[in-house]
Chain A
Amino acid sequence: GAGVSQTPSNKVTEKGKYVELRCDPISGHTALYWYRQSLGQGPEFLIYFQGTGAADDSGLPNDRFFAVRPEGSVSTLKIQRTERGDSAVYLCASSLNRGREAFFGQGTRLTVV
């Protein structure tokens, strides 16, 4: 695709439910990042993939958050037992192998009610 694609663009879920957020990176980009952005704040790092493996997951806030990238392309961020504090825009970015330019998708706005 031409750019990083994230689906859905908006997700409303009830507290305690499970959600999955999808990211399609730019074709050929081996590095993939997930960030979380709260209102009025900068993107906050969650997890970084290089290929299929999570090279750095130090930003995941707790064990309710998990992400996979089984074939080294599409990635899914999974949140279990959602809480109202999880409400934010979840951003995905990709870059070429060891490339510094990260290209972002439009984000998924998650609202937990």
Chain B
Amino acid sequence: AQSVAQPEDQVNVAEGNPLTVKCTYSVSGNPYLFWYVQYPNRGLQFLLKYITGDNLVKGSYGFEAEFNKSQTSFHLKKPSALVSDSALYFCAVRPILLISSGSARQLTFGSGTQLTVLP
């Protein structure tokens, strides 16, 4: 079974500073990895994904994430944080399977990290 850990419940960063939101995963085989953002009372918005290829993935709103297979990590980063980036961030994983049936496309989510960017 797969699992995702987001070790920090809360991350605070000053506007303009770089931000990192940590994620580590456990999965049998190779993973699909995702980052989503959630604003209050809203659904999840897709930020970026890693499927294969380049370990550095660039996504929406200036976010990027680096896949590190040896450390089983997929940390989310942004060079310069904005106040509007303040939200709840979720890392998610699913295994790459040869047969992608409905249930096999289930995502396992981390517990979420609340990012607060201070003006």
Do they bind each other?
A: no
